[in-house]
């Protein structure tokens, strides 16, 4: 083998070794770089997670369905401290830093805010910066015949600042004058707001029948009491008119009304299984013991029941009963009433 050939092979062998060493070094450096990068990324992730958990995430006891007031003219510091105190944000300081960083220090809107689910720091800041109050009206249906205490329970389920005991105390004098209807209230509506809405609706609806009520000749309060009884006693409008005829006749002839629904109003029951002791109780709502109408309406009558009260059908009847299918049977004498009671009710 020539000297040139030997030198060429030696050079190639040297270069192969050199390249191999460089390749191993590069691979080593690359592995270390990847490890450093991974370590840095992991540290950044852990820091971000810790920052989110301790600052940006909602507090663990975030008060969903709670209303937060942001007063008009409040400073960013005051707002931030209120949010921290109400457990809406974890840190008042970070809230202030965030709104300053986003340039929203002068854009926070005053008002009442509702957060229906846990909301992070960014979401809270955005809500206040853009006036997203979360106050969607809530639908409340007041059924026909509902008593004040029923209405209070329904409203208490939907309204967040509603005091049902206070509402009941204020509304009881207006029993029978709170119109049954579908209403839409903001979640922050209080007792006075609700009471005013129900009363105003009653006045507006009753205006349709003012002339007819005046022509009927009985006081409005008596008409409303009778209408509230009819609301409970029958579903069919014609039956209500016939029952009105029976009850007005009994009143005019100084007879006891003997209506179960009236008595049940005073004891707060929904069942008609009255005992002899119940019927002997000394209550002004016991129409088995006291003559005349009860002292107040026993619920909120519909317009249909009010109309039935002032357009009675007088068939000469003194008694009525509903059978197990809901059909109402009328009688002119007590003996006839007892026969129908045995026939249709088995008693």
pLDDT (tens digit per residue) in 195-229: 999 999 999 999 999 999 999 999 999 999 999 99
Cα gap 312→249, rounded to integer Å: 10
In this prediction, residue 129 has a pLDDT band, given cuts at 50, 70 and 90, of very high
Residue 267 neighbours by CB under 8 Å, 6+ apart = 278, 281, 283
How does pLDDT run across 173-203, given as a tens digit for each residue? 999 999 999 999 999 999 999 999 999 999 9
The answer to whether 198 touches 183, Cβ cutoff 8 Å, is yes
Q: Which residue has the higher pLDDT, 30 or 265?
A: 265
The residue with greater pLDDT, 139 or 3, is 139
Alpha carbons 179 and 206: distance in angstroms, whole number: 9
Q: Is 91 exposed, middle or buried (0-12, 13-18, 19+ CB in 10 A)?
A: middle
Cα dihedral across residues 14, 16, 22, 24: positive or negative: negative
Asked whether residue 15 carries a pLDDT value surpassing 50, the answer given is no
pTM recorded for the entire structure: 0.77
Residue 7 has pLDDT above 50, yes or no: no
């Amino acid at each position: 083998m020539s000297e040139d050939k030997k030198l060429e092979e030696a050079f190639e062998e040297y270069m192969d070794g050199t390249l191999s060493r460089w390749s191993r070094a590069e691979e080593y450096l690359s592995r270390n770089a990847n490890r450093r990068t991974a370590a840095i990324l992991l540290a950044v992730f852990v820091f971000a997670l810790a920052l989110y958990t301790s600052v940006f995430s909602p507090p663990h006891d975030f008060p969903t369905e709670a209303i937060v007031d942001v007063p008009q003219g409040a400073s960013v510091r005051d707002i931030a401290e209120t949010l921290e105190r109400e457990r809406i944000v974890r840190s008042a300081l970070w809230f202030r830093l965030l709104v300053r960083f986003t340039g929203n220090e002068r854009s926070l809107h005053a008002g009442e805010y509702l957060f229906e689910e846990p909301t992070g720091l960014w979401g809270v800041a955005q809500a206040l910066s853009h006036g997203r109050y979360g106050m969607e009206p809530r639908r409340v249906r007041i059924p026909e015949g509902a008593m004040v205490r029923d209405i209070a329970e329904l409203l208490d389920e939907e309204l967040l600042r509603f005091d049902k005991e206070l509402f009941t105390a204020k509304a009881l004098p207006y029993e029978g004058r709170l119109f049954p209807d579908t209403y839409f209230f903001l979640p922050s509506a209080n007792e006075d707001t609700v009471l005013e809405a129900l009363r105003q609706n009653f006045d507006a609806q009753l205006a349709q029948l003012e002339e007819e009520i005046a022509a009927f000749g009985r006081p409005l309060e008596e008409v409303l009491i009778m209408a509230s009884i009819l609301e409970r006693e029958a579903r069919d409008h014609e039956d209500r008119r016939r029952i009105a005829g029976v009850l007005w006749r009994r009143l005019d002839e100084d007879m006891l009304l003997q209506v179960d629904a009236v008595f049940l109003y005073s004891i707060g029951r929904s069942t008609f299984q009255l005992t002899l002791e119940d019927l002997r109780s000394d209550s002004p709502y016991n129409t088995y013991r006291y003559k005349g109408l009860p002292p107040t309406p026993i619920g909120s009558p519909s317009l249909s029941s009010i109309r039935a009260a002032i357009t009675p059908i007088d068939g000469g009847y003194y008694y009525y009963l509903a059978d197990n299918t809901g059909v109402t049977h009328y009688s002119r004498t007590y003996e006839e009433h007892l026969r129908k009671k045995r026939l249709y009710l088995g008693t």
